[in-house]
Structure 1
Amino acid sequence: MKRNVVKISISLILCVLLVCGSITPVVAGPADCGVSAVFNKSYKEDGKLWMSYTVNTGIIASNASDTKTEVWAEIYNSAGKKVVSWKSASYEANKKITRKFGYDWSKLPTGKYTFRIYVRVHGTIRDGSIYYMNNMGWYWSQQVDHTAPSSVWLDSSALVTRDDGSYATKIKLGYSGAKGKVPNIEIYDEKGNLMYSAAGKNISYDKGTYSFLWNGFPKNGGVQCQSGNYKIKYWLDGGNPKQSQVWLDIY
């Protein structure tokens, strides 16, 4: 008579610190199954950060049949929430394979993350007249300190009314990855003369908008400017200025 028994064993094998995408290759794994994982390197390609591993797939037992090894990976944020995952790929027993996991980390906000690679071996074992399924799994963890790249763009410009009833031109900038940085702005007339410049306050959030109000008067004094085409330069401290040509209503 055949009987099916499911046996599951999960154990944490390795935890390695990853800082700024650099890590020393480490070999680890359960000797009884022949499973091991080697972190080869991390590198950037096609706008993604790639994590490369070499895995020895091993075998569940010498008397096992239909042995398969599944390999996949996941990323967790500091709150323990899974934010990225890769599909599992299945491999034959006792093979040396290389699996690469690529992701555009710029999509994630600045913070601490945990990258995990999972290896699960399963197969059918015969013990006399008894057959049973055996599953064994492990994962390797790496801590990632991620800093999102900062960016800024012109979100909008509009004429607004202040609380005292006066008018002002509102320039709204959008930003991401900008926590701790200072937004800057300059406005030039059609002749290239600098009409207005300002530095904002230290940004408290990773993503959002920041607005400047200009009353339309030149920074060095004089007659109020007229509505027309203006060039706006804007940047985050330490970054390269961008510029946009826009029509500004001034009253």
Structure 2
Amino acid sequence: MNSRALVIARHEARLMRTQPWIVVILIIIPGLLLAFFANGIVGGPARAIPGLAALFGFFGLSAIGLAFYRDHGWMTWDRLRASGTRPFAVIVGKLTPLAVMFLLQYLVLFPLGWAAFGLQIRGSVLGLALVTIGLVAAELGIGLLLAVVCTSIAQLNSLVSIGTLLLVGGAGALAPIETFPGWVQAIAPVSPVYWSFQGFQSVIAEGRGLADVLGPAAVLFGMAAVCFVLSGIFYKHEQRKTFFS
């Protein structure tokens, strides 16, 4: 990470400490909901914990838009551009603290599930970590792409809300996908959550090893790569964004 990206990352981290709502969305709310759903969802904690993490992780993609759009609302984006900071440094600087938070979500919820709700990870912990990193990479890629193509924070938040319900709910995160209509099962693989659950269930419930999750993890990293490449293609450093409705 170059010096300008590091400065931006530190600035974003300070803002998150003063406005910790992303911690509430990613960790506190799903952590509290586990008390009600850990054993109330078909599949028990093995489905409820990664399911709620994915649900609120995708809701948390609004934070990526906020990281970029608030500079437009605060009238500091032109100053950032005038400083000579390259787009790559801006993107890396703004995404790095968020990447840490998205990973921290799983670092908190999985141990919480084990300690308080009886979650048993029967397979490879390394495999679990690989799938988690792949899903977080996909989340960051999707969030960045939305921040790039949308023109207002209201538009982005609407797409995040709708997309979360489709990508998480339709991928079998909160209910067995076998119970869904056939057409839903057919399109479910377009969601990164579908592939993450192939990996999570393989490791958590079936006791599989690292080699068994390489396929789902590869798909997740591939989806992330496509989103990052598209973001680079469509990114316009000079484009104006609307922060206030």
Task: Work out whether the TM-score is over 0.5.
Answer: no
Structure whose alpha-carbon radius of gyration is higher: 1
Q: Which range, TM-score by smaller chain?
A: under 0.3
With CA pairs under 8 Å and 6+ residues apart, which has the higher RCO, 1 or 2?
2
User: What TM-score do the two structures reach when normalised by structure 1?
Assistant: 0.25
* Higher helix fraction (1 or 2): 2
Between Structure 1 and Structure 2, which shows a larger proportion of strand residues? 1
